[in-house]
Structure formats: C-alpha cells, structure tokens
Amino acid sequence: TNIERRCLLESHLVDALKNHELSLHYQPLFSLQHQGVIGAEVLLRWHSPLLGNVPPDQFISLAENNGQIIAIGNFVLHTAIEQAAQWLCRYPNKQFRIAINISPLQFRDVDFANYIANLLSLYQLPPSSLELEITEGVLLQDEQQAKHIIDRLQTLGVKISLDDFGTGYSSLSYLQKYSFDTLKIDRCFITNLEKNEQDRELTRAIIAMGKKLTINVIAEGVETQAQDDFIRQEECDFGQGYLYGKPIDAISFERSYLTNKQIND
C-alpha cells in the first residue's frame, strides 16, 4: 500500500545522506535569445542500494515531514554552490547562474539569509550567480519572516525565482508584494500548448505580464520544437526542458555545456 511504501522509503531515507546515496543533477537553463545555456537548475537524486532510484516527488515531502529536509537542503546548498564556484573559476562567465530549490521549512530559519551569505563567501561565489527557487509554500507561512529573508537575500545580490507559477492560489498578490527576479511557468501550461488554445492564451499572458513587470520568465518542461517555437514567438526569455537538455550529473553537464564553450558571454 501507499502507507507501507512511505514507511519503507522513510526508514531508508534516514541514512541516505550519511551513506552518500544522495547526489545532484544539473539541468540546463537555455537562453532563447542567445541560443545558449546560461545556467543550471539543481535537482536532487536519491539512489538507494535497496530501493533503486527514488524520484524527488516521492521523498522530498517525507523529508519535509520529518525535518530531514534541513540537513538534505544544506547538503544541496553546499554541494551546488561549491560546484558553481568551481565552474565559474574554470569557465568565467558573468551570466552563469545556478538555481537551487528551497523548501518552505528552510525558510523557517530566521538566519537563512545569513547561512547563504556565509556559503557564498566560503566558496567565493558571486551572489548574482545564485538563484533560489521558491514556491508559494514558502510565502504561505510566516509572511513577515519570508519577506524579511527575501529582502535580505536580494540585498546581497542573490536572485529569487517563483517556481511552478500559475498553479497556486494567489500568485498575483505575491507579485505585488515581492519583486521576484524570475517567474517559472509551470510545466502544466507548456505540455499541451499545441492542442489547447486556452493554455496558449495563459502562457502568452504570463510572458507578457513578466515583460511588463521586468521579471525574467522561464518556461518549464519544454519538450517539443512546436513548444519552443511558441514561447520564442512570445518572446519568453528562457526555456528549460528535455528539448534543451535533461538533468545530468556534474561531470556530464560540464562536458556537454561548459567545456565546448556553448555558454554565452
């Protein structure tokens, strides 16, 4: 049953970090205007010797329920920031950024912005090369604290991106309260662009709104040339999806997108 599966996963997840079963994949963020990779989103991977590969959709919520997401999230931050700093050192590029998903629980720590500031100086990564992806879940909890942390991060120069845009309840009021650097249009709008007129209108409207508010827009889950054509025609800034590249490990990412200088200056 579902409950049994969750219990099983949870009992194995406890030691996953300690046993080095967690790793990071990197998926290219593609500039539609420059036709090149300008960064990567970091995606957590769990390979359990007993359970095999477990997708994040199955274990992140467990880790959020038992609080483990803090330790796991810190591992992600350390690993990805160190990796980005190394890449930036080897392949200097002002544009390059690494986008890291942040759980609402990580935002409950009043000192979260300081934690980030310390990591940036520890690994010598310029703040503008770091983007943190948050969802509405972050903003739904203690709103004042969230605002305080976001302000502090943006003052440092860290970018904030609103993930899964369009799927929540009141995203528009959040656009009024915060000045996000990036909006990520949820994959559910992109998937049926070819078939569905309404999805086309909504996607068009979100891109236009981003432009008016001078927020960068990323379309998520772009898989086909027709989807790419559409978002390009609407002058969307960035695309992410299997069409441009799947999430891959750091070594493969470096080989595919950094060494052969596909990156734009």
Start-to-end CA span in the chain (Å):
51
Residue 101 interacting with Ca ion (CB under 5 A): yes
- Give, as one character, the DSSP assignment of residue 44: E
The stretch near ligand C2E (CB under 6 A) out of 113-121, 139-147, 221-229, 257-265 is: 221-229
* Closest CB to ligand C2E among residues 56, 127: 56
DSSP structure class, residue 194: T
Residue 240 CB, nearest approach to ligand C2E (Å)? 6
CA-CA-CA-CA torsion sign (13, 15, 16, 18): positive
Which listed residue (82, 136, 151, 223) binds ligand C2E by CB under 6 A? Answer: 223
**Interacting residues with ligand C2E between 70 and 129 (CB under 6 A):** 73, 76, 101, 103
Q: Does 43 bind ligand C2E (CB under 6 A)?
A: yes
133 binds Ca ion (CB under 5 A): yes
CB neighbour list of residue 263: distance below 8 Å, 6 or more residues apart: 36, 37, 38, 91, 93, 95, 96, 257
- Considering the rule CB under 5 A, would residue 163 count as an interface residue with Ca ion? yes
Q: Which of 225, 170, 163, 208 is nearest to 188 (CA)?
A: 163
The H or E element spanning position 31 is strand 22-31
Instruction: Determine the Cα–Cα distance for residues 184 and 214; give it in Å rounded to an integer.
Output: 14
Determine if 48 is a binding residue for ligand C2E (CB under 6 A): no
Q: How far apart are CA 199 and CA 190, in angstroms?
A: 7
Q: How many residues bind ligand C2E (CB under 6 A)?
A: 21
Of the listed pieces 28-36, 192-200, 236-244, 255-263, which binds ligand C2E according to CB under 6 A? 236-244
The binding site for ligand C2E (CB under 6 A) comprises: 27, 42-44, 55-57, 60, 73, 76, 101, 103, 163-164, 221-223, 240-242, 247
